[in-house]
Chain A
Amino acid sequence: MRRMPLKAVLPALLILVTLGLAACGDDNGDGGGGGTTASDFPPPTAPPDDAQKGGTLTVVNAADVDYIDPGAGYYQPTYMIDFATQRTIVGWPPDANKDPVPDLADGEPTISDDFKTITFKIKKGIKYSPPVDREIKAADFKYAIERGMLPGVATSYHSPYLGDLVGYDQAVAAVGKDSTVAPNISGITTPDDQTLVLKLTKPTATVAVQALSLPLGAPVPEEYAKPFDAESPSAYSEHVVGTGPYMIENDDQGNVTGYSPGKEIILVRNPNWDPSTDYRPAYVDRIDFKEGFTDVNSATRKILTGDSQVNGDILPEPQGLKLAATQYPDQLSLVDSGGNRYISLNTQIPPFDDINVRKAVIASADREALRLARGGELVGPIATHFIPPNIPGFEEAGGDKGPDLDFIANPKGDPELAAEYMRKAGFASGKYEGDDPILVIGENAGVDKQVSSVVGDIFTKLGFKVNLREVSSDTAYTKFCGVPKSNYNACATTGWLKDFNDPQSILDVPFNGASIVPTNNSNWPLLDVPAINKALDKAKLVSEPQARAEAWGKVDDEIMAQAPAIPYIWDQQPAVSSANVDVVINLFNATPDLSFTSIKK
Chain B
Amino acid sequence: MLRYVVRRVLWGIALLFMVSAVIFLIFYAFPSGDPAASRAGRLATPEEIDRIRETLGLDEPIYTQYWIYMKDLVLHFDFGYSYESNAPVRELIFDRLPATISLVCGAVVLWLLAAIPVGIISAVRQRSPFDRATMVTTLVLYSAPVFWLGLVLLYLFADDIGVFPIFPGQGAYTPISSGVGHWASALVLPWIVLAAASAAIYARYLRSSLIDVMGEDYIRTARAKGLGERRVIMRHGVRSAITPIVTLLGVDIGLLLAGNAILTESVFNIPGVGRLIFTSIERSDLPVVQGVVLFGAFFIITLSIVVDIAYAYLDPRVRYA
Contacts and interface: CB of A to CB of B under 8 A. Distances in A.
A64 B279 CA distance: 9
Interface in A249-289: 260-263
B68 interface: no
Contact of A156 (B34, B43, B133, B156): B43
A564 interface: no
Given A154-B41, A159-B43, A479 B132 contact: no
Given A12-B136, A19-B156, A520-B44, 16 more contacts: A5-B129, A11-B133, A18-B156, A23-B148, A25-B155, A233-B55, A261-B82, A261-B85, A261-B87, A292-B266, A292-B270, A292-B275, A298-B151, A298-B154, A474-B284, A479-B34
A5 B132 contact: yes
A237 interface: yes
Of all A-B residue pairs in the complex, the 9 with the closest CB atoms, nearest first, are: A156-B41, A474-B33, A261-B85, A151-B51, A478-B34, A8-B132, A8-B133, A292-B269, A520-B37
Given A159-B48, A233-B55, A519-B46, A479 B152 contact: no
B42 interface: yes
Interface stretch (B163-171, B215-223, B226-234, B253-261): B163-171
A23 B267 CA distance: 14
A509 B147 CA distance: 40
Interface stretch (A94-102, A299-307, A528-536): A299-307
Interface string B124-159: 000001001100110010001001110110111000
Contacts of A66: 84
A470 B229 CA distance: 59
A293 B41 contact: no
Interface string A129-171: 0000000000000000000000110101111100000000000
Given A63-B279, A237-B86, A261-B84, A479 B41 contact: no
Interface in A515-563: 517-520, 522
A403 interface: no
A159 B41 contact: no
Interface residues of B, number: 61
Interface of B: 31-34, 37-49, 51-52, 54-55, 81-82, 84-87, 92, 95, 129, 132-133, 136-137, 140, 144, 147-149, 151-152, 154-156, 160-161, 163, 169-171, 266-267, 269-271, 275-276, 279, 282-284
Given A19-B152, A260-B95, A298-B154, A293 B132 contact: no
Given A151-B52, A154-B40, A478-B38, A235 B86 contact: yes
A1 interface: no
A232 to B, nearest CB: 5
Contacts of A7: 129, 133
Identify the interface centre among B47, B86, B283: most chain A CB within 10 Å of its CB.
B86
A22 B144 CA distance: 14
A237 B144 CA distance: 43
Nearest to A517: B46
Report, as a range, how many residues of chain A touch the other chain. 35 or more
A262 B277 CA distance: 11
Contacts of A482: 37, 42
Given A23-B151, A160-B43, A475 B31 contact: yes
Contacts of A4: 132, 136
Nearest to B148: A23
A54 interface: no
Interface string A456-472: 00000000000000011
30 contacts: A4-B136, A8-B129, A8-B132, A11-B133, A12-B136, A22-B152, A23-B155, A60-B171, A63-B279, A154-B44, A154-B48, A156-B43, A176-B51, A262-B276, A263-B271, A292-B171, A292-B266, A292-B271, A292-B275, A298-B161, A474-B33, A474-B283, A474-B284, A477-B37, A478-B37, A480-B31, A482-B42, A517-B45, A519-B49, A520-B34
Contacts of B271: 260, 262-263, 292
A212 to B, nearest CB: 16
Nearest to A233: B86
Contacts of B160: 302, 305-306
Contact of A262 (B47, B86, B155, B279): B279
Nearest to B53: A151
Nearest to A176: B51
